[in-house]
Amino acid sequence: MSLYRDEGVVLRTQKLGEADRIVTVLAKRTGKIRAVARGVRRTKSRFGARLEPFTHVDLQLHTGRTLDVITQAETIRPYGEALAVDYPRYTAGSAMLETADRLTHGEKEPALRQFLLLVGGLRTLSERVHEARLVLDAYFLRSLAVAGYAPALEACAKCQAPAVRAFAIVAGGVVCGACRPAGSAVPAGETIGLMTALLRGDWVTADASESRHRSECSGLVAAYLQWHLEHGIRSLRHVEREHA
């Protein structure tokens, strides 16, 4: 039996048999792990509540033939408790977990920066300092950047010209008039400025932004994220409904 220990954030769970659960965790050193938690659906389970989505946990596991098995779980911080009482923050957090799951493709491939971004995003959401959708959009942009999909926001994504006229998802960000493909969005300059601030972590600028620019920013960021993932984020439907 090969034992190992790691800390991580629970992304999702699914039922297995009558009492077990498969837990998907984004771990600090190991990357994404899918492991079996034995008996956690029983009322007398020792650590069932510690293996719920949003929970930052310290785990001990042993390597199995198909799935590893969780043998110990200690809570580091239960972000779900703070988010569950605030619908906009809960749905934003759910979209973060789903995005982290989608952006970390292979199991047990180290993804330290994605792990740190997720923990930071959940912590910021739970602290209630910034508007929930701003935190979510900042997380989307930064996690995309870590994955190699950062949008061009200061010069044309195709020719690097400084004069930009539109935002084209298929081109990779802002584009000049000569490179602008059909169907490109033409956002306000303040919207592009907000996206830049969120990507850089400039919260003074982001918090001072107007509602219409936040709404436009959210639409562009969500479309850009889902185009690169080649799949919709189901949790976003609830976030967008609340935001609207």
Q: What is the per-residue pLDDT for 241?
A: 52
Q: Which of 93, 30, 96, 94 is nearest to 63 (CA)?
A: 30
63-116 residue pLDDT tens: 988 899 999 999 999 999 999 999 999 999 999 999 999 999 888 999 999 999
- CA–CA dist 195, 151 (Å, integer): 9
Task: Using pLDDT thresholds of 50, 70 and 90, give the confidence band for residue 28.
Answer: very high
pLDDT at 210 over 60: yes
Query: Reduced to 3 states, what is the DSSP secondary structure of residue 216?
Result: helix
Residues 239, 99, 134, 210, CA torsion sign: negative
Instruction: Share the mean pLDDT of the chain.
Output: 92
Q: What is the per-residue pLDDT for 61?
A: 96
Residues 231, 237, 240, 244, CA torsion sign: positive
pLDDT at 42 over 60: yes
Task: Using pLDDT thresholds of 50, 70 and 90, give the confidence band for residue 238.
Answer: confident
Q: What is the per-residue pLDDT for 244?
A: 40
Q: Which of 239, 240, 218, 232 is nearest to 83 (CA)?
A: 239
- The β-bridge relationship of strands 20-27 and 31-37 is antiparallel
Q: From residue 46, how far is each of 23, 56, 69 by CA, in Å? A: 15, 17, 15
Residue with tokens 């942009």: 141
Task: Using pLDDT thresholds of 50, 70 and 90, give the confidence band for residue 41.
Answer: confident
Q: What is the per-residue pLDDT for 44?
A: 67
Mind giving me the DSSP string for 66-85?
SSEEEEEEEEEEEHHHHHTT
The amino acid that residue 163 corresponds to is A
Q: When comparing pLDDT for 232 and 122, which is higher?
A: 122
- The DSSP bridge partners found for residue 217 are none
Give the side-chain half-sphere CA count within 13 A for 30: 24
Q: From residue 77, how far is each of 40, 89, 122, 163 by CA, in Å? A: 19, 16, 10, 46
CB 89, CB 128: distance < 8 Å: yes
Task: Using pLDDT thresholds of 50, 70 and 90, give the confidence band for residue 243.
Answer: very low
Tokens of 67: 């799935």
3-state SS, one letter per residue, for 194-207: HHHHHHHCCHHHHH
> Per-residue pLDDT averaged across 210-215, rounded?
96
pLDDT at 46 over 80: no
149-197 residue pLDDT tens: 999 999 999 999 998 889 999 999 999 999 999 989 999 999 999 999 9
Q: Which of 103, 50, 104 is nearest to 79 (CA)?
A: 50
Q: When comparing pLDDT for 55 and 39, which is higher?
A: 55
pLDDT at 242 over 90: no
